[in-house]
A and B are shown apart, each in its own frame.
Chain A
Amino acid sequence: MPSDTTGFWTPVALSADLPAGTVIPARTPAGSVALWRSEAGRLAASADRCPHRGMRLSHGFVRGEALSCIYHGWSYAQAGNCLRIPAHPGLTPPETIRVAIHEVAEADGVIWVAAGVPASKPPRLDGLTPLRSLTVLAGKDAIETAAGGKTSPDGLVETAAGAGGVWLLAADDGQTLVHVLVRDDAGTKDRIAASRAAESLRRRAENLQREGIVQ
Chain B
Amino acid sequence: MKLYDYILSPSCYKVRLMAALTGVKLDLQPVDFHPGLEHRGPELLALNPAGSIPILKDGDLILTESSAILVYLAAKAAAEWLAGDKPEEAARVQQWLSFSGRLTTSLGGARLHEMLLRPGDIDALQAQGISALRELEAGLVEQSLRGRRFVAADRPTVADIACFPYVALAPDGGVSLDPYPAIRLWSRALRSLDGFIEMPGIHRLHELKPEPLIETGEA
Contact = CB atoms under 8 A, between A and B. Distances in A.
A206 B185 CA distance: 26
Nearest to A26: B178
Contacts of A24: 181, 184
Nearest to B177: A25
Interface in A16-47: 17, 19, 21-22, 24-25
Contact of B207 (A13, A21, A134, A188): A21
B43 interface: no
A177 B213 CA distance: 40
Nearest to A27: B178
B212 A191 contact: no
Contacts of A154: none
Contacts of A19: 185
B90 interface: no
The 10 closest A-B pairs by CB, nearest first: A87-B219, A17-B181, A135-B179, A61-B206, A61-B207, A86-B215, A25-B178, A132-B141, A191-B145, A72-B219
Interface of A: 13-14, 17, 19, 21-22, 24-25, 52, 58, 60-63, 68, 70, 72-73, 85-89, 131-135, 188, 191-192, 195-196, 199
A87 B218 contact: yes
B182 interface: yes
12 contacts: A13-B181, A19-B185, A24-B184, A63-B207, A63-B211, A73-B212, A85-B219, A87-B215, A132-B182, A134-B137, A134-B179, A192-B146
Nearest to A32: B178
A140 to B, nearest CB: 17
Contacts of B2: none
A89 B142 contact: no
Interface string B170-211: 000000001101101100100000000000000001110001
Nearest to A180: B141
Contacts of A68: 206
B217 A89 contact: no
Interface in B90-148: 134, 137-138, 141-142, 145-146
Where chain A touches its partner, the secondary structure class is mixed
A207 to B, nearest CB: 14
Contacts of B142: 192, 195
Given A21-B207, A61-B206, A132 B217 contact: no
A127 to B, nearest CB: 19
Given A63-B207, A196-B138, A199-B138, A89 B213 contact: yes
B206 A70 contact: yes
B61 interface: no
B106 to A, nearest CB: 17
B54 to A, nearest CB: 29
Given A13-B181, A14-B181, A17-B185, A192 B213 contact: no
A27 to B, nearest CB: 8
Nearest to B219: A87
B202 to A, nearest CB: 13
B178 to A, nearest CB: 5
Given A61-B205, A85-B219, A87-B215, A17 B184 contact: yes
B95 to A, nearest CB: 16
A128 B151 CA distance: 27
Contacts of B182: 17, 132
Q: Which of B134, B141, B206, B211 has the most CB of A within 10 A?
A: B141
A70 B206 CA distance: 8
Contacts of A86: 212, 214-215, 219
Contacts of B137: 134
Given A73-B215, A88-B219, A195-B145, A62 B138 contact: no
